[in-house]
Amino acid sequence: MDFSYTQEEEMFRKRLNEFLDKELTEEIARQNWEDLGVGPEAREFSRKLYENGFLGLPWPKEYGGQELSPTYDFILIDELGKRWGAHVPLDVGYTMTGHTILRRGSEEMKKEFLPKIIRGEIEFGLGYTEPNAGSDLASMMMKAEEKDDYYLINGQKTFNTESHYADYHWLAARTELDPDKPKHRGISLFIVDQRSPGITIRPLITMSGERTNEVFYDDVKVPKDRMVGEKNKGFYYMMEAIDSERNHVFVPARLWPIVNDMISYVKATEYNGKLLSDDPQIQSKLAQMIIDLEVAQVLADNARWLELNELPMTMEPEITKLVVSELEQRMVDDAMQILGLYGQLEEGSKWAPLRGRIEWYYLHSFLPTIGAGTSEVGRNVIAQRGLGLPRG
Ligand SMILES: Cc1cc2nc3c(=O)[nH]c(=O)nc-3n(C[C@H](O)[C@H](O)[C@H](O)COP(=O)(O)OP(=O)(O)OC[C@H]3O[C@@H](n4cnc5c(N)ncnc54)[C@H](O)[C@@H]3O)c2cc1C
């Protein structure tokens, strides 16, 4: 197994980094990363990424791609992530829903959405979770009733993160209402215009200041051709999209800014007349961060390699997701220990070390072990899907 890049891929990486040196600012990186809402600067950056040939390389030519290896997208994701943890600006469409549209959508749907996704023009919000259906997604109650040429949708979603700025809602709703049928065989996926009449979006602000949303549907009419793939197969498509999310979003490269910031900090900060970088305990903590990051990278490369080669993935994306998200928590916890009491100061305080970034990461670090499936459920998946153990 060879994980190294080809000469062409290396050249792409070099050209990309030259572009990012000029075009990517911390403000743009944070617009998406912190879910503040992708503003005009991030949309403009997205357009430039496409125009300069950095978006859409692995996608089919007929939808505007170049049909090259998916490795190009992984390079893009990693190199962005190393700079303030940046994401592809409109990444839900680009790294999650787009792949499912390509695999499962009708030809009309592919022609309508894929070119815009590839050009970095549109964004989606994920509409899975409900107040009584998080880990147990199959219990969702949002109802889509079939009418003449549309579905009538009613119900509530919660924690739908991008909805306040996304163009479309990637919505899972119940289309089989017979309670005797298995729950997971009664769900379908829809692409809904996020500004449709009858949709209300209310903010939920997390402890790190990131915004997510409650989304209410009140007699929302969705044309039939906006159903993705086959009726009642949505649960399986959701699981495919979540695997893709795990491989593209839980990326070890996004943790490098924490380590790099901490290395600069300990080299420049004195305590009791000595540089922190001279302290063997601090050296040991930083060394452990690098060891863990390198291990996470190998796991991520392995899961990506399986995806690139269209080999079966049972537990690999789940393992990477678990390791990366739990590593983020350990890393920022250690970083907070090194910063001491000043580490708790927020961005904006003149005494906050590293501009309050570690404090922000610390508060943020609770999300990754919850979003896209909790660690507890992830371990169940590994035991059952990966090891073939019985479902409890
Ligand atoms: C900031 C944030 C952003 C999010 N963004 C989105 C989004 O954009 N779109 C979207 O659809 N969802 C989103 N989510 C929702 C997220 O996917 C759910 O929170 C997650 O799946 C857990 O569901 P729950 O919150 O209902 O917790 P529950 O499922 O109620 O779980 C509560 C606790 O019980 C544990 N538990 C549950 N079942 C089991 C089991 N079988 N075995 C062992 N332990 C179990 C869980 O691990 C957890 O600790 C987001 C969540 C957060 C916090």
Question: Which of 370, 381, 384 should be mutated for ligand 1, with most atoms under 8 A from CB?
Answer: 370
Neighbours of 326 (CB within 10 A): 17
109 C-alpha vs ligand 1 centroid, how far in Å? Answer: 30
Residue ranges of alpha helices (H) inside 142-217 are none
Mean pLDDT score, 128-133: 97
The H or E element that residue 211 is part of is: strand 211-223
Read off the DSSP letter of residue 146: E
pLDDT tens-place string over residues 297-318:
999 999 988 887 888 888 999 9
Side-chain-side CA neighbours of 139 within 13 Å: the count stands at: 7
| Cα torsion 32, 372, 159, 94: sign | positive
The answer, yes or no, to whether any atom of ligand 1 lies below 6 A from the CB of 383, is no
The answer, yes or no, to whether any atom of ligand 1 lies below 6 A from the CB of 370, is yes
CA distance 333 to 34: 19
Residue 372 CA: distances (Å) to CA of 41, 96, 128, 263, 348 = 27, 11, 10, 31, 31
For the entire predicted model, the pTM comes to: 0.94
Domains and CATH numbers, the chain: 7-89 (1.10.540.10), 126-237 (2.40.110.10), 250-386 (1.20.140.10)
pLDDT tens-place string over residues 134-156:
999 999 999 999 999 999 999 99
Which residue in the block uniquely carries the two structure tokens 């089919």?
Answer: 60
Neighbours of 212 (CB within 10 A): 20
Determine phi and psi for 191, rounding to 5 degrees.
-105, 115
pLDDT tens-place string over residues 22-37:
999 998 888 766 655 6
* Residue ID of nearest Cα to ligand 1 atom 13: 159
The answer, yes or no, to whether any atom of ligand 1 lies below 6 A from the CB of 378, is no
The H or E element that residue 154 is part of is: strand 150-157
CA distance 205 to 185: 33
